[in-house]
Amino acid sequence: MLLAAALLTASPLNGQEAAEREGIWFNAGLGAGFDESMRWGPGFRVAAGTTIAPRLRLGIRAFQFEADPFGRDGSKSRSNVTATAAFYPSAGGHFFLAGGLGLATEQYQELVPGTTTARWATSEYLGAYLGLGHDIRLGDGDLHLTPTVDALFGLIEDGLDNPDFSLLFTVGLGVR
C-alpha cells in the first residue's frame, strides 16, 4: 500500500524532465503471460491514440496472447481489442493506470484423441482490460520504453461472477 502511494504521488527528481504528453501516440510491446489455468505463453500488444489532456490519453489497444502454444493437449489463443483510456495521476509523471472495454475472442485448439488432427472452437464476447505501466524516456526525443502489466478479462457465460482472464506482462517501445 505504501509503495502504491509512493508511485502515485512521486514527482521527478532534480534533473529529470517532466513528461510532456500531447498529440498522437503509438506503442507496441512483447512479453509473456498466463491464463486462469496457469498456462504460460507469449503475448504482444499494440496501441495508438491521442492525448486529450496532460493526464489523459484515449485510443485503441489490441492484445494477443497464446497460452501453452506447444502443449500436448492443445492451446488457447486470446485476443482483446478495446477502446482504451490511460490516466496519469501526475501531469508531469510517467506512471499510468489504464483500462478499456471492447471485444474478446478466444480460440481453443485441442487434439482429437488417437489422431494428429486438431479441432478448433472459437468464442467471442465482451472483453475488458485493466493495466498499469511506466513510460521511461530514451534520450532527448519522443521514444519511450514502456513496461506494462495488463489483466485481460473475458466476460463470458458466467458473467461478472466468474470472468475468464489472462495476465500479460509486456515491455514495449512507444512514440509520442
What confidence tens digit (pLDDT) does each residue in 134-168 have?
999 888 878 889 999 888 887 765 444 555 667 77
pLDDT digit of tens for each residue in the chain (176 aa)? 444 444 444 444 433 456 678 889 999 998 888 877 777 888 889 999 999 999 999 999 999 988 876 566 667 888 899 999 999 999 889 999 999 999 988 887 777 777 777 777 888 888 888 999 999 988 887 888 999 988 888 776 544 455 566 777 887 777 76
| Dist CA 166 CA 152 (whole Å) | 5
| Dist CA 45 CA 54 (whole Å) | 23
Instruction: Tell whether 176 is covered by a domain.
Output: no
State the sign of the Cα–Cα–Cα–Cα dihedral 15, 27, 47, 42. negative
Instruction: Tell whether 92 is covered by a domain.
Output: yes
State the sign of the Cα–Cα–Cα–Cα dihedral 7, 10, 12, 13. negative
85, 97 in Cβ contact below 8 A?
no
Domain residues for 152?
22-171
Instruction: Tell whether 13 is covered by a domain.
Output: no
Instruction: Tell whether 16 is covered by a domain.
Output: no
CATH for 37: 2.40.160.20
